[in-house]
Amino acid sequence: MMGALTDRFGRHHTYLRISVTDRCNLRCTYCMPEHGIDWTPPQQILQTDEIIRLARLFVSMGIRKIRLTGGEPLVRRDTVDIVAALAKIEGLETFAMTTNGIGLAEEAARLHEKGLTTLTVSLDSLRRERFQAITKRDRFPDVMKGIEAALAAGFAPLKINIVVMKDVNDDEILDFVAWGRNKLVDLRFIEYMPFPDNHWSPGGLLPYAEIRARISEHYQLLPVVGDASAVGKEFTLAGHIAHVSFITSMTESFCGTCNRLRLTADGNIKSCLFHPAEKNLRDVMRAGGSNDELAGLIAAAVQAKPAAHPPVEELIHVENRAMIAIGG
Ligand code: SF4
Show the 3-state SS of the chain: CCCCCECCCCCECCEEEEECCCCCCCCCCCCCCCCCCCCCCHHHCCCHHHHHHHHHHHHHHCCCEEEEECCCHHHCCCHHHHHHHHCCCCCCCEEEEEECCCCHHHHHHHHHHCCCCEEEEECCCCCHHHHHHHHCCCCHHHHHHHHHHHHHHCCCCEEEEEEEECCCCHHHHHHHHHHHCCCCEEEEEEECCCCCCCCCCHHHECCHHHHHHHHHCCCCEEECCCCCCCCCEEEEECCCCCEEEEECCCCCCCHHHCCEEEECCCCEEECCCCCCCEEECHHHHHCCCCHHHHHHHHHHHHHCCCCCCCCHHHHCCCCCCCHHHCCC
- Which residue minimizes the CA distance to atom 1 of ligand 1? 309
Pocket lining: 255 vs ligand 1, CB cutoff 6 Å:
yes
Say what percent of the chain tops pLDDT 90. Answer: 92
Say what percent of the chain tops pLDDT 70. Answer: 99
pLDDT in the model for residue 288 = 98
Residue from 7, 191, 274 whose mutation best tests the ligand 1 pocket (most atoms within 8 A of CB): 274
Mean pLDDT, range 44-55, rounded to an integer: 98
pLDDT in the model for residue 33 = 83
Give CA separation, 150 vs 131, 144, 182, 230, 328, in Å.
20, 10, 16, 23, 21
Q: Indicate the pLDDT class of residue 265, thresholds 50, 70 and 90.
A: very high
At 175-230, the pLDDT tens digits run: 999 999 999 999 999 999 999 989 899 999 999 999 999 999 999 999 998 877 88
Rounded distance from Cα 55 to ligand 1 centre (Å)? 21
Mean pLDDT, range 293-312, rounded to an integer: 96
Other beta carbons within 10 Å of 90: 7
Complete edge-to-edge strand list for the sheet that includes strand 65-69: 221-223, 233-237, 243-247, 185-191, 158-164, 118-122, 94-99, 65-69, 15-19, 260-263, 268-270, 278-280
Pocket lining: 272 vs ligand 1, CB cutoff 6 Å:
yes
Mean pLDDT, range 278-307, rounded to an integer: 98
Distance in angstroms (rounded) separating the CA atoms of residues 269 and 18? 9
Mean pLDDT, range 281-285, rounded to an integer: 98
Amino acid at 144: M
Rounded distance from Cα 166 to ligand 1 centre (Å)? 23
Pocket lining: 294 vs ligand 1, CB cutoff 6 Å:
no
Residue 166 CB contacts under 8 Å (≥ 6 apart), including other chains: 192, 203, 204, 205, 206
pLDDT in the model for residue 165 = 98
pLDDT in the model for residue 37 = 85
Residue from 67, 273, 312 whose mutation best tests the ligand 1 pocket (most atoms within 8 A of CB): 273
Other beta carbons within 10 Å of 36: 11
Rounded distance from Cα 163 to ligand 1 centre (Å)? 17
Rounded distance from Cα 179 to ligand 1 centre (Å)? 31
pLDDT in the model for residue 35 = 82
Rounded distance from Cα 21 to ligand 1 centre (Å)? 21
pLDDT in the model for residue 164 = 98
CATH of the domain at 281: 3.20.20.70
Amino acid at 127: R
Distance in angstroms (rounded) separating the CA atoms of residues 71 and 60? 27
Q: Which of 1-5, 33-37, 192-196, 235-239 has the lowest mean pLDDT?
A: 1-5
How many domains does the chain fold into?
A: 1
Using alpha carbons only, how large is the chain's radius of gyration in Å? 19
Pocket lining: 17 vs ligand 1, CB cutoff 6 Å:
no
Ligand 1 nearest-atom number relative to CA 307: 3
Q: Across the chain, what does the average pLDDT equal? A: 96
At 10-23, the pLDDT tens digits run: 999 999 999 999 99
Report the candidate in 199, 196, 198 with the shortest Cα–Cα distance to residue 321. 196
Distance in angstroms (rounded) separating the CA atoms of residues 322 and 237? 34
pLDDT in the model for residue 230 = 87
Rounded distance from Cα 273 to ligand 1 centre (Å)? 6
Ligand 1 nearest-atom number relative to CA 231: 5
Ligand 1 nearest-atom number relative to CA 273: 7
pLDDT over 90 (residue 70): yes
Cβ–Cβ < 8 Å for 49, 16: no
Residues facing 172 on adjacent strands: none
Residue from 15, 255, 275, 316 whose mutation best tests the ligand 1 pocket (most atoms within 8 A of CB): 255
Mean pLDDT, range 297-313, rounded to an integer: 95
- Which residue minimizes the CA distance to atom 5 of ligand 1? 255
At 268-277, the pLDDT tens digits run: 999 999 999 9
Residue from 278, 302, 309, 320 whose mutation best tests the ligand 1 pocket (most atoms within 8 A of CB): 309
pLDDT over 90 (residue 64): yes
Where in the sequence is the domain holding 115, given as residue range(s)? 2-326
At 109-159, the pLDDT tens digits run: 999 999 999 999 999 999 999 999 999 999 999 999 999 999 999 999 999
